[in-house]
Amino acid sequence: MILVTGGTGFVGAEVLRRASRRGWRVRGLARNPERAEGLGRLPHVELFRGDVSEPDELDEAMEDATAIVHLVGIVAPTKSQSFEDVHVRGTENVLAAAARAGIRRYVHMSALGVERGRDATGYFRTKWAAEEAVRGAGLAHTIFRPSLIFGRDGELTRRLTRLLRWSPVVPLPGGGRQRFQPVWVGDVAECFLQAARAESTPRERYEVGGPEVLTLAEMVRALARAMNARRRVIVPVPMPLARAGAAVLEAVWPGAPPVSREQLTMLELGSEADPELVAALRSDFEIEHARLEEKARAWTGRTSTN
């Protein structure tokens, strides 16, 4: 059985659905499993209430598990959850519980750009610290570093499609010149599932990127074409102005503002994968390597493609 932390999140839910279709036993760990009751009704899927900050709950969740997919992470700190708490201490707790339970395989969600950005933002710094904990734990492991993950339920794609649906104007920090290698959530989930089922993987670290490198503006245009919302105007927002606006939001929206200055820094860094490591990914895992516009047509109802 595979234990998936963050089992009701964007990627975790896709992992559970795919495991269910194949008849593989999978247990999704979540702080609030009642919010995803539909997942718990899937064949071969069990939802388990638990928190990576509670070692006792982790010990119970790992009973009968043979592999762990660790997906828990946050993109912004809140009053109750810091980057240190979730990314570092949460990962350390999962690794310690895995060792106590004798788990043979551990598969970890990191982030593309973690090495380059570890001195620039708290998100990348703690993601790097979590990777270091994995490397030092002595477990057979695989680390995946995805670029921007897209899909029907993805936070960024949901925000952008909502904006494109209702507004003729799309403001983008820096004009949307930042470069990414967007990767479909289905391909990401496949990598995690296949790695968890394997005895080992040829590499211990993979960069997970899609088949095309796009600027943020090009991503917006691809979504607009998929939605048949072509008459949209991208309005560049100078980065100093965007940062000033984010500072105001941080002041009036404590906890988790819609956008923060740190998130703008991460945006500026972009997210392009090493071509050699993406080639290794395609060689070692069976994935679609799907394109953004193709999949966006499906979730906006323009084609019947899954």
Q: Give the model confidence (pLDDT) of 200-251 as tens digits.
A: 999 999 999 999 999 999 999 999 999 988 788 999 999 999 999 989 988 8
pLDDT reported for residue 229: 83
CATH number for the domain formed by residue range(s) 2-149+182-210+272-290: 3.40.50.720
Domain positions in the chain: 2-149+182-210+272-290
Give the Cα separation of 47 and 29 in Å (integer): 6
pLDDT exceeds 50 at position 303: no
pLDDT exceeds 50 at position 89: yes
Centre a 10 Å sphere on the Cβ of residue 138 and count the other Cβ atoms it contains: 9
**8 A C-beta contact, residue 177 and residue 213:** no
- Could you tell me whether strands 179-180 and 214-215 are parallel, antiparallel, or unpaired per DSSP bridges? antiparallel
**8 A C-beta contact, residue 296 and residue 153:** no
